[in-house]
Chain A
Amino acid sequence: MTSWRVEVTPDCIASGVCLALAGDDFALGDDGRTHPLREVTEEREAVLDAAASCPMEAILLTDATTGEPVDF
């Protein structure tokens, strides 16, 4: 199973789309932005859905081993 590195860029507007789709993987911080709960995670459909649905394209997924961006 592939591991992904998950990053949320400062473009985040806290739309809450990812929180609703992948509440086990993201949380709202005190700074009003969303953050990944784990920097590296096993590949998961919910995280992919969240990244693909983010209106700001603020969720970056890369292969934790190769550093290649994950397609969605």
Chain B
Amino acid sequence: MPESLTYPFPPAESIFHPSPTLSALQKSEPIARFSTADGRTGWVVTRYQDVRTVLVDPRFSRAEASNPELNLPDTGLGQATTGSILGLDPPEHTRLRRLVAGAFTARRVEALRPRAAEIVGELIDALTALPQPVDLVEHFSLPLPVQVICELLGVPAEDRHVFHGWSDAVLGDVTTDPARIAGAFAALDAYFRKLIAAKREQPADDLMTALIEARDERDRLSEDELVRLCQTVLVAGHETTANMINMFLLTLHENPEQLNRLLTQPETIPQAVEELMRFVQLGEGSGLVRVTTEEVELAGVRIPAGSAVVPLMTVANRDPQLFDDPDTLDVTRSAGAHLGFGAGVHHCLGAQLARMELQEALRGLLARLPGLRVDVPVAELRFKNGMIVRSLHELPVRW
């Protein structure tokens, strides 16, 4: 029994699979204790059903994760989400979520699909005019979601080079460089206060204007909440999707027979996106800790009130109880139950938007650049240090 599980957890040996130590817990100790170097403790949950319970059951609180009196271990994003929609419980969370939910429904997202397909086409036109190899991060996987979320929110997409560095920093692991994270939050805060002031003068047909109206005319949220909500939508709206596009391509190139299937049957891309969401290890999964508001019995284990509980979605997505042969990528599988977007009140607000962008990105790349290949060995890929998502510096490709 791994009595001495410590945080940070043992790293994965491959970017395509969870850490073997964490995978093994699913069998041996599905609700396991861990401790940090400074002696704080928590629980890590790895089975699909238990992870889903932690995400959905209101006795597992996000707001309590910001409670300084609980002496909780600093994991993943730590207290960086304090005061944001990611760090709230109902009813405060519900009030904010309802203000933005309408902009991200399946119906609204479908209306954005033609525009996303158009952006995909323009980006591929531009990158095929460049000498090979081309950096896919700079010329496709980052600008696509940035353009889409900027148009939806009402942020000038040409500011990408201004805000992207801050966005990278705020998704940093709190245990590595807290000062850099705090600085980036301050910079994003100032940036959005200026944008919101300009938008008050010149309203537009975008989410930021709608949120300003909800504040100024209906008093539904505070000025700080308005600023923070816009920041969260911008950051969450592009970092994850950009890196998912990279990881999708890397994963498909590691599984050429699956890639071939998609090349010959592009109509199956939506189903393949669900399987890739299940399979891909975007992060090592220590993102958003929950805290028990009372003693909870989970899978026969008593977890005391006030305990930190880390649900590992990336490991749960490989649970053989739910997915046969879980460590094999199979784009024909029905993988829709995956927890790649989480579950419960914090189920990814942009899930439908991300799905649509990922489908259009794959559709465009496979149709226009069927010979696309990564120009460096996986072992030589350079990932940014200390981020909670696997974020590439660059992805050189040829076709």
Contacts and interface: CB of A to CB of B under 8 A. Distances in A.
Contact of A56 (B57, B105, B345): B105
A15 B338 CA distance: 10
A32 B343 CA distance: 13
A8 interface: no
B341 A16 contact: no
B344 A55 contact: no
B337 A57 contact: no
Interface residues of A, number: 18
B190 to A, nearest CB: 31
Interface string A1-31: 0000000000101111101110100000000
A45 B145 CA distance: 35
Contacts, number: 62
Secondary structure of the B side of the interface?
helix
Given A15-B341, A20-B58, A49 B94 contact: yes
A20 B57 CA distance: 6
Given A16-B56, A20-B58, A32-B336, A53 B105 contact: no
A57 B345 contact: no
A69 to B, nearest CB: 15
A14 B337 contact: yes
B98 A32 contact: no
A13 B107 CA distance: 14
Contacts of A53: 94, 97-98, 101, 345
Interface of A: 11, 13-17, 19-21, 23, 32, 49, 52-57
Given A55-B351, A56-B352, A57-B105, 14 more contacts: A14-B337, A14-B343, A15-B343, A16-B52, A17-B344, A19-B56, A20-B58, A21-B90, A23-B57, A23-B58, A49-B91, A52-B101, A53-B98, A55-B106
The 10 lowest CB-CB distance pairs between A and B, nearest first, are: A16-B343, A20-B344, A15-B347, A16-B56, A20-B345, A16-B344, A20-B56, A49-B94, A52-B98, A19-B56
